[in-house]
Amino acid sequence: MDSTRKTVVANLDSQQIKLMRVASYASVATAIALIVLKVWGWHRTDSIALLSSLADSVLDLVASLITLFAVKIAVSPADREHRFGHGNAEGIAGLAQALIVTASASFVGFEAIMRLLEPAPVLRPELGFAVMLTSLLLTISLVLFQSYVVRRTRSLAISADAVHYRADILTNVAVLAAIFASVQWQLYILDPLLGLVVVALILVSVRIIAMKAIDVLLDRELPGEDRQRIFDIVSGHEHVRGMHDLRTRSSGPARFIQFHLELDPDMALIDAHAICDAVEADVRAGFPGAEVLIHVDPYGLEESRDPF
């Protein structure tokens, strides 16, 4: 016997879907604004640190467009060809973002090394400082909104987008420091050095994005604490004699939970069905929106089970 919902939608209510869409639009709009601002600022200052930030913003725009597309697909309801929904589109988007951000880091690293070999002062530092301070405020505002959306929706695409924008915050701070040092102490070498620091930060963000995306695409189990909570919820039901073969995975914002439920072998079918419904409701109360699949076994039945 199996107990599950008849359709898989996206495990999201209309408010969550709206939040994801607004966050993706906000990301694209912010990236465009930052690019325009930094192109103007770089031409006026000739700062490598600012150029590195500009390069990152250009690729942020590409990544944000990928996020926009991925969110559009991920929130689409299940159909005949995709019975489990389209949530894995977020994992694909995450890997694409990782590749884009790696390209950004490579460009920044090359430019920084060239400037290390030939240090040069930052032109019109006060202008560069104003540009980067404005960029910093815009980026912080976006990241705060994205963090709120991720808490509400568990969206991998928005989370991946937020990771490299957090790196951008550190980038902006590094550029501000480089400009300040160039003006105050004529430490021109600090500009490319901080550019290399930015590269390191970007590569760290790449690893985070890529690992999350791979976990989704390879159907990695939910965290151990979530699996234990599922076990506690199910075991706490008065008619449950045991459970085994718990399997879980996530697909974008959606979560899927399945397990074998052990009940009294002499129980009537209608009673077993009612208990399955009650257990499913309890699990979904603990994991809102999750898809729950339950297979019923008579308690004490000898059968092969997962060794893990």
The correct CATH number of 2-217 out of 3.30.230.10, 3.30.390.30, 2.40.40.20, 1.20.1510.10 is 1.20.1510.10
The conformational region for residue 39 under phi > 0 = left, psi -120 to 50 = alpha, else beta, is alpha
> Residue 144: how many CB atoms within 10 A of its CB?
10
Q: Where are the domains of the chain?
A: 2-217, 224-298
Superfamily grouping for domain 224-298: Cation efflux protein, cytoplasmic domain (3.30.70.1350)
Whole-model pTM? 0.62
Distance, in Å, from the CA atom of 94 to the CA atom of 212, rounded to the nearest integer, reads: 8
Instruction: List the 254-263 sheet strands across, edge first.
Output: 2-3, 291-298, 254-263, 242-251
| pLDDT, one tens digit for every residue, the chain (308 residues) | 444 443 444 455 677 788 888 988 999 999 899 899 888 888 877 776 677 677 777 777 877 888 787 777 766 766 677 666 666 777 777 788 778 778 777 877 887 787 778 776 666 777 778 888 898 899 999 999 999 998 888 777 787 778 778 877 877 787 787 777 777 777 777 777 877 877 787 787 778 778 878 877 777 888 889 999 999 999 999 889 999 999 998 876 678 899 999 999 999 999 999 999 999 999 999 998 788 999 999 998 877 777 65
* Six token digits for residue 179: 């400009």
